[in-house]
Structure 1
Amino acid sequence: MPNRVYISFLRLPLPVRILMFALLVFLTFGISIHLLEPETFPTVFDGIWWAIITASTVGYGDYVPHSMFGRITAVILILLGVGFVSAYFGTLAAAAVTKQDAFSEGKIPFKGEGHIIIIGWNERSRELITKLINSRYPQMIVLIDETLESTPVHSRFVHFIQGKAHVDETILKSDIERAEKVLITADRGNDELQADMNSILTLLTIKGLCSQVKCIVEILTAEQVINALRAGADEVIQSNKLTSVFMVNSLHSNGDGLLSDFVHHLQESRLSARITHEDDIGKPFIDVCHQFLTKGILLLGIKRGEETFLNPSRSFEIEKDDLLLIFR
């Protein structure tokens, strides 16, 4: 039994063990000084108070031993107690610095729910994180990257985890089961095909650990889109395709930059989808569009299953489970 208690004590954190030793010293010397000089220290509490004040070198002077044995006890307490007090606060400071360094270096697991996980540090993820943490209602973000040595964003809304995203241990540190969404960005430092393979491998790892979490994957090559969907991607972003759309628009326009202006408004999260109300079912598109216009909202189109109808005909009827694409 004593051996078990000793082993359990050794397993306690070092600051806790030092604090327990310090409390034992205060208690022992507090009782001792009360027994040696009961007139100067009427109660045990007075003795413990004196022991704490003396060991911490504060020395109020409200209680002072007068006998020889009392003063010898005080000297021993000063020599012994100051060491414990200094060791305790020194250990706390060292632990705090170590904890902060581990947090900055991405070694601390994240605990929370409803957070967004972003995999890969690049210009796109940097801009995205900046917009998310500066929004009106910022959401907690977990950034996972293997190339960074420390967190690139110093914000209380960003938790950095250093490691390979296709390794189970790294993903589990992000509390994946309670995450809201995962965004896997492509590593443009690699060959495009290799970057897509790494993204799909990361997607397989995440879906294998938590199949219900929504995953958005950036794919560079058109041939790998189908593989990303097979791997369980809920949404695939073809960034190269989007870039080509901008280029074609710029070539065919007169330099007015209309598409860029439109995308700028989209960055402000003004585009959203709303579930169809029962009152709207069976109504033509033009009637529902007029209803939104009275509220200062523009109805752009309808998403029905896998199909999206932008600016459909006026007689296009709204059906149950349709998503209304609105622009505020």
Structure 2
Amino acid sequence: MKSNRIFIAWLRWPLYLRIAIIICFLLLFFGQLIVLLEPKQYHTIFDGIWWALITVSTVGYGDFVPQTMPGQVAGMALIFIGASFVTAYFATLAAAVFSKQHHYVEGKVAFKGKGHLIIVGWNEKTNKLLQSFQTIDPAMPIVLIDDSLKEGPLLENVHFIKGHGTEDVTLRKANITGADALMITADQHENEVTADMQSVLTLLAAKGLNPSLYCLIEILTDRYVKNAERAGANQVIHTSDAVNHLMVEHFLIKEQLTAFKKKRHMTLHKHVTIIPVPASLAGETFLTALHHFLEHHVIIVGVQKKEGPMMNPPFGYELHPEDELISL
């Protein structure tokens, strides 16, 4: 029974490790054997092991060559037995490396680092987030958790874990206890209510494993905002409110500027007016226009383009002849 347990334990070792042990045993055995058979040719055990290694690897330097028939028979036996094990060892080692790399791409390898950011869910928002973080800090370690991807995105410093964010085993693979922050995005493959339920469950699972973890969560519906706050979210991003606010705000700006354009010489409360781009400023940057009009005590706050207003444009924005300036 004891020998059976030892044999079972031996079979549980990695195959390449077992083959390496067998090769080492063969080198030691034949290294000692050749010293016994040809003591004049092989003076030390190291000489014998060196000959066995060069022989079994089929390199054949020729610095040690058996001179007697027993020594030559031992060399033949070593070649027949050992060469197959060496070939099997390198083949197994290459297969293990390939399998490890394949498991990494498939998201089956656990993350061992600390101080990293975990993002749950893959969608276009996540893609933009990863690009933004790589611009801000290319060295920032990021772990992406997702169950829909077959292979992780090939992005530098992004470690992919395949699985569901609500499962403890998945979060532990992402080393949730050593993470610095967690971002949970809404599942794009589910309806809004189901997506919010999964997001809150993911938050509860993460907080259960790491109560001090800083968590940001995206919520789509009103009813789950409070639930996310109760679950311990440090910041709740209510997507519908943010989008509605931006759309209404830009629509109102568009309506106001449309009225200004119809009555170019009239102002609203005598504060806002539309000014055509002077010919001298066409092709210049928005910053140049700011300086130009400040000298005339006029403040430029935006650009009215054909497709709509652009408030507070970048200083490097190039003015076009058809543009108009929104001024105070």
Q: Normalising to structure 2: TM-score of the pair?
A: 0.75
Q: Structure 1: any 5+ residue segments left out of the alignment?
A: 263-328
Q: Which amino acid aligns with 2:210?
A: C
In structure 2, the residue matched to 1:97 is 98
The 10-residue stretch of structure 1 (164-173 or 5-14) with the greater mean CA deviation from structure 2: 5-14
CA separation in 1, counterparts of 2:137 and 2:210? Answer: 30
Q: Which amino acid aligns with 2:49?
A: I
CA separation in 2, counterparts of 1:59 and 1:134? Answer: 54
In structure 1, the residue matched to 2:119 is 118
Q: Report the secondary structure of 1:150's partner residue.
A: coil
Runs (4+) of structure 1 moved beyond 6 Å? Answer: none
In structure 1, the residue matched to 2:209 is 209
Q: Report the secondary structure of 2:309's partner residue.
A: coil
CA separation in 1, counterparts of 2:73 and 2:29? Answer: 14
CA separation in 2, counterparts of 1:261 and 1:249? Answer: 19
In structure 2, the residue matched to 1:257 is 310
In structure 2, the residue matched to 1:326 is none
CA separation in 1, counterparts of 2:188 and 2:86? Answer: 53
CA separation in 2, counterparts of 1:181 and 1:209? Answer: 13
How many correspondences in the alignment? Answer: 261
After superposition, residues 272-311 of structure 1 pair within 5 angstroms as none
CA separation in 2, counterparts of 1:59 and 1:79? Answer: 15
In structure 2, the residue matched to 1:190 is 190
Alpha-carbon RMSD across the aligned residues, in angstroms, is 1.9
Alpha carbons of 1:217 and 1:261: their partners in 2 closer, same or farther (altered >3 Å)? farther
CA separation in 1, counterparts of 2:102 and 2:142? Answer: 19
1:20-62: CA deviations, max 9, x gaps?
Answer: 1000001111111111111111111111101000100000111
CA separation in 1, counterparts of 2:25 and 2:200? Answer: 58
After superposition, residues 115-264 of structure 1 pair within 5 angstroms as 115-155=116-156, 157-253=157-253, 254=257, 255-258=308-311
The 10-residue stretch of structure 1 (113-122 or 145-154) with the greater mean CA deviation from structure 2: 145-154
Q: Which amino acid aligns with 1:19?
A: A
How much has 1:4 moved relative to structure 2? 5.8
How much has 1:246 moved relative to structure 2? 2.3
CA separation in 2, counterparts of 1:184 and 1:35? Answer: 69
Q: Report the secondary structure of 1:177's partner residue.
A: helix
In structure 1, the residue matched to 2:38 is 37
Q: Would the aligned equivalents of 1:250 and 1:257 in 2 still touch at CA under 8 Å?
A: no
In structure 1, the residue matched to 2:73 is 72
How much has 1:201 moved relative to structure 2? 1.4
CA separation in 2, counterparts of 1:131 and 1:15? Answer: 42
How much has 1:159 moved relative to structure 2? 0.8
How much has 1:234 moved relative to structure 2? 1.0
In structure 1, the residue matched to 2:262 is none
Q: Would the aligned equivalents of 1:196 and 1:219 in 2 still touch at CA under 8 Å?
A: yes
How much has 1:189 moved relative to structure 2? 3.0
CA separation in 1, counterparts of 2:119 and 2:219? Answer: 15
How much has 1:259 moved relative to structure 2? 6.5
Sequence identity (%): 46
Alpha carbons of 1:259 and 1:12: their partners in 2 closer, same or farther (altered >3 Å)? farther
Q: Report the secondary structure of 1:256's partner residue.
A: strand
1:115-172: CA deviations, max 9, x gaps?
Answer: 10000000111111122224345211110001011112342x1111111111121111
In structure 2, the residue matched to 1:48 is 49
In structure 1, the residue matched to 2:291 is none
Q: Which amino acid aligns with 1:165?
A: G
Q: Which amino acid aligns with 1:117?
A: I
1:207-242: CA deviations, max 9, x gaps?
Answer: 122211111100111232111101111110112222
How much has 1:19 moved relative to structure 2? 0.5
CA separation in 2, counterparts of 1:4 and 1:259? Answer: 75
Alpha carbons of 1:70 and 1:98: their partners in 2 closer, same or farther (altered >3 Å)? same
The 10-residue stretch of structure 1 (192-201 or 84-93) with the greater mean CA deviation from structure 2: 192-201
CA separation in 2, counterparts of 1:89 and 1:205? Answer: 43
CA separation in 2, counterparts of 1:68 and 1:97? Answer: 43
Q: Would the aligned equivalents of 1:246 and 1:259 in 2 still touch at CA under 8 Å?
A: no
Q: Which amino acid aligns with 1:166?
A: T
In structure 2, the residue matched to 1:305 is none
CA separation in 2, counterparts of 1:198 and 1:53? Answer: 60
CA separation in 1, counterparts of 2:136 and 2:90? Answer: 40
Alpha carbons of 1:235 and 1:177: their partners in 2 closer, same or farther (altered >3 Å)? same
The 10-residue stretch of structure 1 (219-228 or 95-104) with the greater mean CA deviation from structure 2: 219-228
Q: Would the aligned equivalents of 1:110 and 1:173 in 2 still touch at CA under 8 Å?
A: yes
1:46-100: CA deviations, max 9, x gaps?
Answer: 1110100010000011111111111111111111111111111111111111111
CA separation in 1, counterparts of 2:127 and 2:29? Answer: 57
Q: Which amino acid aligns with 1:241?
A: D
CA separation in 2, counterparts of 1:242 and 1:95? Answer: 49
Q: Normalising to structure 1: TM-score of the pair?
A: 0.75
How much has 1:6 moved relative to structure 2? 4.3
Q: Would the aligned equivalents of 1:26 and 1:52 in 2 still touch at CA under 8 Å?
A: yes
Q: Report the secondary structure of 1:257's partner residue.
A: strand
Q: Which amino acid aligns with 1:45?
A: F
CA separation in 1, counterparts of 2:163 and 2:43? Answer: 61
